[in-house]
A = this chain, B = another copy of it.
Amino acid sequence: MFGPVLGIDPGLSRCGYGAVVVDGARCDALACGVLRTDPADDLPTRLAALAADLEELVAELAPSVIAVERVLFQVNVRTAMSVGQASGLLLSIAGREGIPVVQYSPNEVKLAVAGDGSAGKEEVQAMVVRLLRLAEVPRPPDAADALALALCHAWQAPLRQATAEPAAGVARDRLDAAITAAMARQRASGGAAR
């Protein structure tokens, strides 16, 4: 019914991506990996290469929504500039293609996936493996982070949609459905998620 949710952890050297297909309470990994650019190239060449790779990725996966990591204001200016350059490319492609973009902070992702906003990287990765029934932790970690972003959106979106619904009757039905799905997910993961 929906295109996949594409999670992107933007970066110039390594840009993680992970796509999940959502079907009710079930999420399946569709693709994940890392787009890299060569640090030996100059900045315009690297950004052009990243833009081309992102265009190809979006065209291939045809996501219905893109979940991006929100940059926290604790990072330094140099990092913010670099992440801004990479995320700007992604957002402009999404805007051109009319694909909605939702941002999540690292804490929101941890809370949604591992049930704890201060969970460690390993805990989040272990939950990604469990929730998507993967054989092992996706490598490199950027790919697992991107899958966690996609999962975070997949789980929050039904609740958000239901609670934002203006027609009360419909909202109630959707909210019920979202809660039922969330409970099913919780049972499937042994109660550890949320």
Contact = CB atoms under 8 A, between A and B. Distances in A.
**Which of A88, A89, A93, A94 counts the most chain B CB atoms within 10 A?**
A88
A44 interface: yes
Nearest to A12: B88
Given A44-B101, A101-B44, A81 B71 contact: yes
A138 to B, nearest CB: 26
Interface string A68-97: 000101011110111111111101111110
B91 A85 contact: yes
A170 interface: no
Give the interface size bracket for A toward B.
35 or more
A83 to B, nearest CB: 7
Given A88-B88, A88-B89, A92-B50, A73 B78 contact: yes
A39 to B, nearest CB: 14
Interface in A28-80: 42-52, 71, 73, 75-78, 80
A49 B80 CA distance: 22
A80 B84 contact: yes
B96 A88 contact: no
Contact of A91 (B47, B77, B78): B47
Contacts of A42: 95, 101
**Which of A46, A49, A51, A100 counts the most chain B CB atoms within 10 A?**
A51
Interface of A: 42-52, 71, 73, 75-78, 80-89, 91-96, 99-101
15 contacts: A43-B101, A44-B92, A46-B95, A47-B91, A48-B94, A71-B81, A80-B84, A82-B84, A83-B84, A84-B84, A84-B85, A84-B87, A85-B87, A86-B88, A89-B89
